[in-house]
Structure 1
Amino acid sequence: MYKNLEDYPDVLNVSDVQELLGIGRKQAYELVHSGEFHAIKVGKRIKVSKHVLINWIEGGNRYEKAN
């Protein structure tokens, strides 16, 4: 079932990213690990700011991981 963007929390998990983009689970994990946008790991969980994801979708600056 589709939700409005406003229905999602400000901090998304991988299943939220998957649902928002209409992609598979494997693709969602590959995307959050790709370095295309900022994602954090909290324990074993991966979290993404909704604002960061929307900015990336709209063509915002590509995130560069610090080495």
Structure 2
Amino acid sequence: MNDILQKPVLDVVDIQRYLGIGRRQAYELVNSGAFHCVRIGNRIKVAREVFIEWLNGTNN
């Protein structure tokens, strides 16, 4: 589980596994606008720092 947060950039599946949620919930989360994500083709990427700040409630 800690291996996930060693990566500088997370995939949706990383967020899914870390939070212990389903695939659909993970995609809904990244598409909700709760935190910044980058789309590269069909892939969605999230910077680890952005995800951690959101998780800790320290994002602005």
With structure 2 as the length reference, what TM-score do the two structures score?
0.89
Cα separation, 2, equivalents of 1:61 and 1:13: 19
Q: Does 1:50 align with 2:34?
A: no
Question: Shift in Å at residue 46 of structure 1?
Answer: 0.2
Give the paired residue count. Answer: 58
What is the Cα deviation at residue 61 of structure 1? 2.5
1:29 to 5, 20, 27: 27
Q: Could you list the runs of 5+ residues in structure 2 that have no partner in the other structure?
A: none
Alignment partners' CA distance in 1, 2:43 and 2:58: 25
Structure 1 unaligned segments of length 5 or more: list them.
63-67
Give secondary structure in 2 for the equivalent of 1:38. coil
Runs of 4+ in 1 over 3 A off after TM superposition: none
Cα RMSD (Å): 1.0
Does the aligned pair in 1 maintain the 2:8–2:48 contact within 8 Å? Answer: yes
Alpha-carbon distance, 1:36 to partner: 0.3
Specify which structure has the higher proportion of helix. 2
The normalised TM-score by structure 1 is 0.81
TM-superposed CA distance for 1:10, in Å, is: 0.8
Q: CA deviation at 1:33?
A: 0.3
